[in-house]
Structure 1
């Protein structure tokens, strides 16, 4: 206990210079140096994001489009640069106000104070997507932090269960026609490509089929003509309430084939795009990168989902004699079997938050749940605090790509933070940071970060 108390005293008495800016004694210079380092990196990042968004419109941009793209890039650059630089200053100010560092005030509280304030600088239409993205990464990070403490445990294919339940909720909104009113979102355009426009709501008036069908004549299965007749009947079999033109069997088979080909084409196209330098250098390993089972994962997931969703929906329409939006729930859950071929955590969390957001909007419109003012700001602030805390004090819980991104745009500052004084916190912050730095191959080529502004 005496040793623990001594370590706690060391952590409390640690100065902000020892912790976040050992190369300069001035907190103002530390903030200014961070700001100067962030501007080029964030500008490059947002330039690529907005140019890609412009290219996705598939038309020649006008001067107004180019002007709006430039202004949006500058505004987003200002937002993220301000967020990072104020975070460093807030660490120093909180320490001076409290007289020292506690576990929660080392990074979590400073990030909470400045993140929501910084988001106000961003364009209003960008705030909700940013909050969604940060929440996506934040939930994954928070889960890993709890898992490291033994408080939770991951289950096999847990991300598939999340993805399946989220897709099922989105499909219900799509079939109910709510995507045109209270749950408008671009995600439904993608769902329309997967399951087709035939399943789009709102549904037509339900048709209840109560007429008795005449008993079909007996067929001799040994006769070729009888087998052909059975095949034709199966291909043409369709319930009056089914929204498609062709038979249900053909509708389901083609509905599975198109997303399969689209998914394979998309996955192969992305791999080719990411390996353009290797292709021009004739160093592309085609067998390992393209011609493998991994290139089929997305296609199989989308194809099987669509096939099972459509076949289950048609089976339910045949069984009950009418069509209902609620049929999307068993059909979506059945189609989720195909998602086992693409167990992606990032996509699962994105779909989870997107479905929760749209269900929340629907609940607000119905008066079933209260509307929370500035919910995007609150969510962004909370999960940004989680990410800042994890990136600095529990680096192994953070996505390696996110850690490297912060290290790059901060001009090499993150890897220079000194957490040795915080051993009393019991999470081995310095050891975690060292292991992540070694794993990512981060090597300091200079004694100082970019724009050190030494005083």
Structure 2
């Protein structure tokens, strides 16, 4: 087969490609409006209600009102993104008489994302941008890898995580977090400990160390072990109150226990239907070695970080922010017990964001107005492009998200004409449907909408 230029127009219509189930652009958009609004409402109802419950207090009428408005506004945002994408596809076909590689997905997706993100609450735009940047980075890497341009490194996500986290912890130790109160620093404070916090801060009350020891049966045993660990020496440059041995082991044990509880709770919640049907079989799988992975990561990271930091303070008889870099890099070995690509890429993009803001504050870089909106649109367009032409390079969860949002229409769009660009697009679509267990057998109603 002769491969055409990616910029050469393919003379196909939007009826053949965008909405083959109806010959009306208006009907196509109207049907998409119906299914996308319902799916968007379902998604954001869960998101906002969970966010409300996680506050741990009885919601006030004002909280409920804010939650309802948030659900409606975010639903409007996601619905606008879906419907305007289809609309822009039809408009561009009428303007150019066909489609090329740019106008068949990327450009309409960019325009629809730009339109939609303006509808969303400004406070959520940054989070959305980080999310799509995360997924788009992975997608671009897979696209490059499928073309033989790059090659993945074994456990490369641990390297990305280590370097990115080391940068963030260095900012935390140097006191930069006091100027930019980003939520990621709360996570750092939780994992490495408040004692490692840089900059001016209040003295910590030692009575807090007794918190959490409420299990009467093991309280005495814990107290004995605690007293034994505190009997070791503490270096004068270390910011913690008790011995270095106590500091390292107690921090690691605490985070291991928290991680274990988190993963156990998640498994129980996600498998409630199975537990009801076959309780013995499912409960056995919940309390397995796999359940300890998050705990091993959190506990191991905290222990290794504190151990290395104390060692460096003792070796150099000083406490410097720069010690955060080797301490974090060594502690990142624990990430191998839970090598999550999504977490690594999130930390990577969060580091870039914090570094950019830092350089802007120091006058080294200019602030670009609307950069979050532009970046969101660019990265979302990448994801739509991959979903259109090479979905096997797209994260399965994102394909399922688009499939649900469109009521399955993304799998029905006829891309066979685009095989002339040499990407085996039609075959990839069929493979993606098979792998993700989605369907292209869609039932339409209301006049084949």
Contact 2:233–2:243, Cα closer than 8 Å, also in 1: yes
Distance 1:233 1:374, change over 3 A: closer
The match for 1:371 is 367
Q: Distance in 1 between matches of 2:400 and 2:440?
A: 13
Question: How big is each residue's C-alpha offset from its partner over 1:168-187, in whole Å with a ceiling of 9 and x where there is no partner?
Answer: 111112112222213x2112
Shift of 1:269: 1.0
The match for 1:239 is 235
Contact 2:5–2:421, Cα closer than 8 Å, also in 1: no
Aligned with 1:186 (options 179, 183, 202): 183
Are 1:432 and 2:428 an aligned pair? yes
Shift of 1:94: 1.1
What is the TM-score when the length of structure 1 is the normalising length?
A: 0.89
DSSP 3-state at the match of 1:105: helix
The match for 2:406 is 410
Are 1:266 and 2:266 an aligned pair? no
Distance 1:439 1:237, change over 3 A: same
Q: Distance in 2 between matches of 1:175 and 1:452?
A: 62
DSSP 3-state at the match of 1:102: coil
Q: Distance in 2 between matches of 1:134 and 1:394?
A: 17
Contact 1:36–1:451, Cα closer than 8 Å, also in 2: no
Aligned with 2:350 (options 351, 354, 374): 354
The match for 2:39 is 41
Q: Distance in 2 between matches of 1:233 and 1:187?
A: 31
What is the number of residues matched between the two proteins?
Answer: 425
The match for 2:221 is none
Shift of 1:282: 3.3
Q: Which moved more, 1:386-395 or 1:235-244?
A: 235-244
Aligned with 1:324 (options 316, 320, 324): 320
Q: Distance in 2 between matches of 1:316 and 1:232?
A: 24
DSSP 3-state at the match of 1:343: coil
Q: Distance in 2 between matches of 1:248 and 1:276?
A: 42
Q: Distance in 1 between matches of 2:6 and 2:147?
A: 21
DSSP 3-state at the match of 1:60: coil
Q: Distance in 2 between matches of 1:48 and 1:37?
A: 17
Shift of 1:233: 10
The match for 1:294 is 290
Unaligned runs of 5+ in 1: 205-230
Q: Which moved more, 1:50-59 or 1:186-195?
A: 186-195
Question: How big is each residue's C-alpha offset from its partner over 1:320-352, in whole Å with a ceiling of 9 and x where there is no partner?
Answer: 222111111111111111111111100101111
Q: Distance in 2 between matches of 1:326 and 1:259?
A: 24
Are 1:115 and 2:113 an aligned pair? yes
RMSD: 2.2
Q: Distance in 2 between matches of 1:36 and 1:93?
A: 20
DSSP 3-state at the match of 2:104: coil
Q: Distance in 2 between matches of 1:234 and 1:38?
A: 59
Are 1:79 and 2:73 an aligned pair? no
Q: Which moved more, 1:11-20 or 1:41-50?
A: 11-20
